[in-house]
Structure 1
Amino acid sequence: MVNKWEKQLSLDGSCELDIWPYLQNLTGDVISRTAFGSSYEEGRRIFQLQKEQALLAVQVTRSVYVPGWRFFPTKTNRRMRQISSEVNALLKGIIEKREKAMQAGETANDDLLGLLMESNYREMQENDERKNVGMSIKDVIEECKLFYLAGQETTSVLLLWTMVLLSKHSNRQACAREEVLRLFGNKKPDGDGLNHLKINCILKIL
């Protein structure tokens, strides 16, 4: 993402940039990997569809309310139903693949969906797979959707406001930059190094 920003710099080293779409895509990619791991590309498609669905839902809430209007075959209503069907089909396909792998004795992936399904599978086995125990495929699908809706927007908003606050408080920005350069130099940050960052700029500003 930062490399893309650098390519847009003018000769004097500056440019005006709308970073909001970049941050939305970044957090969407992170959530796709966290939720689906190896099925990341399918997860990314789900994220794009969920994003479109949210925009359409906002349009609907801004229009004049007419009882029963959501059942009319308008262009928006048809598209919202198409998105819902496609998201459900994609998630169901991923879940069914995981179920077959788990039944074949393979270990669950270390991602949100894998942990959720492993826990659910264990609970059902312990209760002799009774009908009212554990989550159905529909429940798992809804949990995955919720993870996107709750995680993507809040994370991108947090990143955006972090950048806004750091730009307003240049002394804290300089402090944070100095610490990063001291710990990493020209190397890419890694997990172990990030744990050694002591300056929490946001808390200090707030």
Structure 2
Amino acid sequence: TQTAVADIFYMGLLWMVAAAVAAVLASWAINALVYLVWRPRAITRQLRAQGVGGPGYRFFAGNLAEIKQLRADSAGAALDIGNHDFVPRVQPHFRKWIPIHGRTFLYWFGARPSLCVADVNVVKQVLSDRSGLYPKSIGNPHIARLLGKGLVLTDGDDWKRHRKVVHPAFNMDKLKMMTVTMSDCAGSMMSEWKAKMDKGGSVEIDLSHHFEELTADVISHTAFGSSYEQGKKVFLAQRELQFLAFSTVFNVQIPAFR
């Protein structure tokens, strides 16, 4: 009798556990369907009713597959000398979609909606707004952690407090005092280039790399009073963090997963 009661108890316990697991899985499935199917369709429908189109949502990945393909196709392209139209190189999807969908359209990073605004008047309205209707937002959590809660991402009272702290460092008198240091750093870079050219033959200079070093050198001298070489390890570590964070921009971000 006791064995039968124990068996019934354990069977009941197993059924309760199974029911709990089933309920959790059902809840997860419903939330996933809402997030991945119903919500994108609802947002797309609402914006289309207001005249805002877009390339259309694809389940789970959104428009990331097309964006990655366009970026891969343009990766080997080189700009001609004197050509500064870099948009097809760095943002080829915008160059393709704007003529098709207009200067304001909806596109998707996974199931996260993004609104492209290329209308200058609308951009002015958003950037000059002080009502709080357009809060700052970085959808990628890795980039948000990299930037922190500084002036770039804060709003309202937090933004005012941060701005009050950094404002004294950027008044006109202090900036004028920094120009000599900035000029010296740029002169040092130019001298390095000239030394390479004096050796004769053709010289190839990686401007992107040199300007990164120049920026770091200027910041080191003006803000910390040290040279770039002394803080090189810090800047290299920071650059690695930037690479890791921005390499996730075109990955699908799944809630609750890193």
Q: TM-score range by the shorter chain?
A: under 0.3
Q: Which of these two proteins has the greater Rg computed from alpha carbons?
A: 2
Higher strand proportion (structure 1 or 2): 2
More helix by share: 1
TM-score normalized with structure 1 length: 0.28
